[in-house]
Structure 1
Amino acid sequence: MKHLSAPNRAGAAALLLALAGCATTQPAATTTTSTPAPAVASSTGGRSINPQDVDRSVSPCEDFFRFSGGNWLKNNPIPAYASSWAPRNELNDRTQATLRRILEDAAADRAAAPGSNRQKVGDYYAAGMDSVGLEKAGLTYLKPELARIAAVKDRPGLLSEIARQQTLGTGAFFRAGVAPDRKNSSVYAVNMSQGGLGMPDRDYYLKDDARSKTVRTAYITYLTNTFKLLGDAEATAAAKAATVVRVETRLARASKDRVSLRDPYASYNKMTVAEADKQFPNLQPSALLKRNGLGAAQEVIVGQPEFFREVSAVLKEEPLQDLKTYLSWQLVSSVPAALPQAFSDEAFRFAQVQSGAKQQPTRWKRMLAATDGTLGEAFGQLYVDQAFSPAAKQKALDMLANIRESMAEHIQTNTWMSAATKQEALKKLSALRVKIGYPDKWKDYSALNISRESYLKNVLAARQWGYQQNMKKFGGPIDRTEWSMTPPTINAYYSPPMNEIVFPAGYLQPPFFDPEADDAVNYGAIGGVMGHEMTHGFDDSGRQYDSEGNLRDWWTPADAAEFTKRAAVVGTQYSAFSPLDSVYVNGKLTMGENLADFAGLTIVYAALQKQLDKQYGKGNRPLIDGFTPEQRFFLSWAQLRRQNIRPEALRQQILTDPHSPGQYRTIGPLMNMPEFYQAFGCTPGQKMVRPDAERAVIW
């Protein structure tokens, strides 16, 4: 739900659930199965499984994470610029090499037609790469925005500036935007949700454990040094830093934690704009919406009313100058890469405390990511032409159709779900939309002006353009052609209001997807992702949306209670996982992703069996590098989730990420699957085998 892979600080709250992926390897002489081994042996397949990565000193039935990729973990230390290293990073390096060629070619083309996508892509990337120009410009292009904030003389002027900062994507105070109404997904609604924090989680402001104190201290240093770069003396900069932390701490206290935010009903509070004005009088939502082109809106969905009541109080109670200091910080801290290098260095030093990375990624990598995030569909077509063939797209569609069929069969044969709930579930599955590779309708950038004059001007112009594009949706039909990820993105998502799963071309590459690999490998790799995203529609949050994408309870009370009971078993299992001393996985925060892993893997395994039956019949399935197809399926799943991660980044992940660490995404589902036990000959008492009474079974 990733997640979108990198959410904009000020973007509207997007209801997306994203996933990460997995990769392995030599004849499995030490593994056994409880069924006769196939007679056919081969070493010609296995393009995504590397037998040399398997650590045969570890039993697959004791620790499959280490068995499947222990040698890879030993031989792939984390690069200095990274906080973790996994097969996704290796694919990202290859993808970046392709994209860099495309971008540098566009940047070198000074004859590109003015206003064309090629001109915009080339100029955006070139301006970002012009480090000499950035140093020479200094704060020249930032000063007009800082001056606007400094010129605010009263509370009405402050509200005008807050409205402007929404269009600039700075993230000040809250997030607002247009998205499908979650209880009536056929229309767009205005949504407002909590935000405004400079640190990645509310707990860093509120807790006094050593980790929180360390991050908080680093944040204060980041604030102080940045204000000094803006021209303030040491004492003034320190005072401003304290002001920002005080204001943000008030917002943090009023913010819901990440577990609470997973409840879609609790975050759906529709009210008239007039009522919002009454509840949040010092924010004046009606005036804010009017300033930003949404004056026609009669209603607004407020994610966290108690948070906005606190925002209203902050706007009344805090000194005007302090609120201006906060706005200045939100602006500057949202654009460090578009300022002189010293600003990026300060931002990186703060990020280092959270991630443990030793050095900043090179500028071309950062500018490549920025260009993709801003103009990704403008050059995504060129990437698709080079990296994703029509044949690959068709194979992916065929796999998805087989997995959907398997999911339908699991629903139909479910033993604890009533006929009425099954009918609704099948209806939702049938209505599921699938998007593969790239959009059918490419984004139109004609209204966005990009030049080589200033990278900061380009960044702010792109944000304002993106905000206006979002505002234009209001009152119009739902755009079901839109993508929330660019074609080169190495990720995937499920959208509950759209009831759709989306797989960009960037993810459909080896080792995640290889049209030349055998089915067992592809089903264990990208198939696991497909099953994961598909079953997000039926996890603890996604199941609360119906076939049309509306937030509606379609479960019988008995079925809902049984689902909750079974899901709680998963939560208990993951909350017991501890990757570091005194650090435990949050089974409630990671519930949706864990359930999608559980259900997705079960469904995809069954889909693979059907595929193998078609290809080989019930027997005589080939060994490849000494592994049966079933073993290769589980190896493929595990190897794409192997990961080396720095302790700082691991602590950060457990606090903020709805995905469990890679090692537990690997073993968590398998410990509950008899199919895994059978594939590797595991027996009761071994660590990878949960007793029947403790096993989690959803579908």
Structure 2
Amino acid sequence: MVNGCWKQKGTLIKCLVFLVTVLIMILVAIAIVLVNRKEDNNICKSESCIRHSAEVIRYVDKSVSPCDDFYAFTCGRYLKLRKESPFGPLTDELNFMIGEMVKEGDSRPFIMQKSFYLSCSNLGGIEMDDDETILDQFFGLGDWPVMRGASWEGIYFDWVEVAKKSRRLGMKFDWFLDFTIYEDVNDTGLNILKIDIPPDLTPFRSFEVHLRQKLFTKVALILGAPERLAHYETGRTIDFENELRKLADEHRSKKTHWYSLSLPKVTINEVQELWPNIAWLELINNITGTRMIGSDHIIFDEVIDYVKDLNKFIYGTPKRIVADYMMWKIIEETWQYLSQPVREVFERYYEEAERREPQLDRRKFCISESRKQFPLVAESEFIRRHVSDQKRQLVTEMLFIIRSKFVKLVNESAWMPRPQRQKALSKLKKLQFLVGGPREVFDKFGFAEDLGLYGFVFKSTNVIDMLTERRLRFYDHYYGSANKLVTNKTTAFYEKVVNISRFSVINDNTLVIPAELLKDTIYNPSLPNYINYATLGRILSQEIFHYVFKNHNETVTNNENHNNYNSLSVSDVFDQAVKCLIRESSYFHNSEFKRPKKMGEMLAHFIAPDVAYEAYKEWSLIYPQESKLPALEFTPGQLFWIHTSKLSCNYKIYSKHDRDYSRFKVIGPLRNNRNFGNDYNCTAGFKMSPKKICRIL
């Protein structure tokens, strides 16, 4: 009886033990799943992350120890497998954008630019026009004498009236006088109309006169001029042009105000008194499209004598020759949009006279012309496509963190004297940033208005008509600023600062970050930030370094007297640091590294990776949850050094110097960086972890 109970109890205990064991195994399994799930949640699974992981796996050469040769480790397979730069030519992308079909979201000016490009490329349409449009325009101006022969009535011809009419039609009008807007920032603060000698009136070379006469004659014959008249009249017209150029050059050489900060101004009434043969107020109002009055000031800079001699010269020449010249200059300005026979004659002329190959690629020509007719339109579209509000905010945050790291480094510098330290700190304190470009660029409607393109729509698909429509809008916008306050909202100003491939500085303290650096290939918000700081962060660090010290003179000499390098008074610490840098470069057996200019670049390359790394560490304190790239055993710190070094993997090696410099930009800064050695566990004594390192800041 007792034994039976014990047997039953033993079975029960065994069952309980079994159940507890199973329960423990289930709990362990659940824990493992939860841990794995937690780790899995920390893996970046975006398309960009997966692609970057694949690139690291493909390009990193694990057969090389990173502590022995990080250039071979990072760049070796990269250079073998990649045949071209990961960052394609920017012009190719812009050209593609102009040539592509209209996309949803394209600004109105960009649509018009694409329309112009299409009409320019449509050679079939140009041939169908058979130059009728340009001849019709000539008819509206009083016709081309060489085409009409004796039937041309020149009794009422007056070059001033033709100039006014040509301006109203959107055609060339500056045959004899140049009208520009002068920003009188040093005196009145106004945009002042300036009348001057046309800059393109320069003397012919000796052999050009005959070649131009042949050209003019052939073009006139193609367009229908009588042969005998064409040979006779074109010769006289070219002689007239030759003498006009000599006259302009003679008076231009007498000018003395080339470099004046402010030019002398006179009223329109005063000009009228000096030379009454021209109704100046009427001419000026027709050219500018404004309503100026006689007491308004203009700049008539040292051209009174030129105007007097010009008037004598013109009125001493038969009217039909003057008219021939004026129409001829319109032809010369628009020949690329005329029929094939005309284009071929001009191409042969330039090949013979200028010794230059003709541009036979119509697509390239039309892309270039569309960008001339619509300056900054494609560039602004590129900026808006690649620089989102999110990117602007995040990159601005990155810039301020990097700037704070530079402030810290300068403050802690052991060698920088107080005056230089204060100067550097002052520049850093005042330094501001524009990410992608000026703020106005991101307002597509406001920017279009600043460029004079708001509401502009072509009325025709004929390329000659489109040219005149575009010029007419340009004239109205450009000359409409006369007698108004000078502002930065002009095409001329934007052309200085809207540079999508190069850093620029506004007002000496605002650094404009080019949009090309904000493409996803360099900065991508969907990637972990240790990659973004490794790439864009390093580039920005280099540029800020150059900005802070850009006005200092480089005075390193061959005898290794590095005193006053970058105009910073030396201390023994700095002198030893630069000597250490020279010694580092000697490992690459290239004497060019010792040149002062190259030394400045080397300093930036040494400092930038460290600044970017420290900036990332500060950022990670604020945002500690950084995801990892999938399928990689590298730590975030290790991936930082891989990606920052990849910027210096020069995929085009043309010489030993290219190879040496590319290797130096990777190995030099990293082997002298303790953060790198710690991340890769490189103990002192390895090639990438020397016992003594060079420290600049």
The CA RMSD measured in Å over matched residues stands at 6.5
Deviations 1:361-394 (A, max 9, x none): 224x433444444456777776556444445545
Check the 8 A contact 1:139/1:339 in 2, yes or no.
yes
Q: Does 1:101 align with 2:113?
A: no
Q: Partners of 1:191 and 1:51 in 2: how far apart?
A: 56
* Aligned 1:133-172 pairs, distance under 5 A: 133-147=125-139, 148=141, 150=143, 157-165=158-166, 168=170, 170=172, 172=175
Q: Does 1:289 align with 2:284?
A: yes
Deviations 1:334-369 (A, max 9, x none): 222332233444444455565844642224x43344
* Aligned 1:574-653 pairs, distance under 5 A: 610-615=611-616
Change (3 A) 1:678 1:489: closer
Check the 8 A contact 2:534/2:641 in 1, yes or no.
no
Change (3 A) 1:679 1:599: closer
1:237, distance to aligned residue in structure 2 (A): 3.2
* Aligned 1:412-431 pairs, distance under 5 A: none
2:298 to 293, 297, 300: 300
Deviations 1:266-293 (A, max 9, x none): 3741302345556676676544322233
Q: Helix, strand or coil for the counterpart of 1:443?
A: helix
Q: Partners of 1:131 and 1:333 in 2: how far apart?
A: 19
2:360 maps to 360
Q: Does 1:272 align with 2:266?
A: yes
1:244 to 218, 241, 250: 241
Check the 8 A contact 1:254/1:310 in 2, yes or no.
yes
Q: Partners of 1:254 and 1:539 in 2: how far apart?
A: 41
Change (3 A) 1:446 1:299: same
279-288 or 519-528: bigger deviation: 519-528
Check the 8 A contact 2:534/2:612 in 1, yes or no.
no
1:442 maps to 447
Check the 8 A contact 2:402/2:615 in 1, yes or no.
no
Check the 8 A contact 1:189/1:300 in 2, yes or no.
yes
- Identity rate, percent: 11
Deviations 1:156-209 (A, max 9, x none): 9312333455563635345434464331585433344553527xxx5xx3777x
1:301, distance to aligned residue in structure 2 (A): 3.9
1:190 maps to 193
Q: Partners of 1:27 and 1:471 in 2: how far apart?
A: 59
Q: Partners of 2:253 and 2:670 in 1: how far apart?
A: 44
1:245, distance to aligned residue in structure 2 (A): 3.5
452-461 or 179-188: bigger deviation: 179-188
1:254, distance to aligned residue in structure 2 (A): 4.3
Q: Partners of 1:635 and 1:513 in 2: how far apart?
A: 18
TM-score by length of 1: 0.53
Deviations 1:539-569 (A, max 9, x none): 99xxxxxxxxxxxxxxxxxxxxx9xxxxxxx
Task: Provide structure 2 residue ranges, at least 5 long, that are not aligned to the other structure.
Answer: 1-58, 62-66, 145-152, 554-566, 568-595, 619-634, 672-697
Aligned residues: 514
Q: Helix, strand or coil for the counterpart of 1:250?
A: helix
1:406, distance to aligned residue in structure 2 (A): 11
* Aligned 1:168-183 pairs, distance under 5 A: 168=170, 170=172, 172-178=175-181, 180-183=183-186
2:560 maps to none
1:331, distance to aligned residue in structure 2 (A): 1.7
Matched residue type, 1:443: A
Higher alpha-carbon Rg? 2
476-485 or 510-519: bigger deviation: 510-519
1:470 to 463, 470, 478: 478
Task: Provide structure 1 residue ranges, at least 5 long, that are not aligned to the other structure.
Answer: 1-25, 29-35, 55-70, 73-85, 108-114, 541-561, 563-594, 644-662, 682-699
1:439, distance to aligned residue in structure 2 (A): 3.9
2:309 maps to 313
Q: Helix, strand or coil for the counterpart of 2:158?
A: helix
Q: Partners of 2:133 and 2:549 in 1: how far apart?
A: 44
Deviations 1:93-113 (A, max 9, x none): 233223322349999xxxxxx
Q: Helix, strand or coil for the counterpart of 2:447?
A: coil
2:338 maps to 339
Check the 8 A contact 2:117/2:367 in 1, yes or no.
yes
2:14 maps to none
Q: Does 1:127 align with 2:119?
A: yes
1:216, distance to aligned residue in structure 2 (A): 7.6
Q: Partners of 2:249 and 2:134 in 1: how far apart?
A: 28
2:9 maps to none
Deviations 1:204-250 (A, max 9, x none): x3777xxxx6x787666555544444444344334433432332343
* Aligned 1:346-495 pairs, distance under 5 A: 346-349=345-348, 352=351, 354=354, 356-357=356-357, 359-363=359-363, 365-375=364-374, 383-384=382-383, 386-394=385-393, 397=396, 436=437, 438-440=441-443, 441-444=446-449, 445=453, 448-476=456-484, 478-483=486-491, 484-485=494-495
Deviations 1:109-162 (A, max 9, x none): xxxxxx976875565444334322222222322224423154895899312333
Change (3 A) 1:51 1:360: same
1:460, distance to aligned residue in structure 2 (A): 0.4
1:456, distance to aligned residue in structure 2 (A): 0.9
Q: Partners of 2:258 and 2:506 in 1: how far apart?
A: 10
Change (3 A) 1:39 1:418: closer
Change (3 A) 1:226 1:366: same
Check the 8 A contact 2:190/2:486 in 1, yes or no.
yes
1:465, distance to aligned residue in structure 2 (A): 1.0
Q: Partners of 1:244 and 1:156 in 2: how far apart?
A: 18
Deviations 1:27-74 (A, max 9, x none): 99xxxxxxx98879853x89xx974699xxxxxxxxxxxxxxxx99xx
1:480, distance to aligned residue in structure 2 (A): 3.9
Change (3 A) 1:430 1:623: closer
Q: Partners of 2:216 and 2:543 in 1: how far apart?
A: 40
Change (3 A) 1:480 1:157: same
Matched residue type, 1:162: A
Check the 8 A contact 1:176/1:192 in 2, yes or no.
yes
1:464, distance to aligned residue in structure 2 (A): 0.7
Q: Partners of 2:251 and 2:200 in 1: how far apart?
A: 11
TM-score by length of 2: 0.53
Check the 8 A contact 1:174/1:193 in 2, yes or no.
yes
Q: Partners of 1:172 and 1:451 in 2: how far apart?
A: 27
Q: Helix, strand or coil for the counterpart of 1:132?
A: helix
Q: Partners of 2:205 and 2:232 in 1: how far apart?
A: 26
1:590 maps to none
Matched residue type, 2:297: E
Matched residue type, 1:98: M
Q: Helix, strand or coil for the counterpart of 1:183?
A: coil
1:327 maps to 326
Q: Helix, strand or coil for the counterpart of 2:284?
A: helix
Q: Partners of 1:149 and 1:432 in 2: how far apart?
A: 55
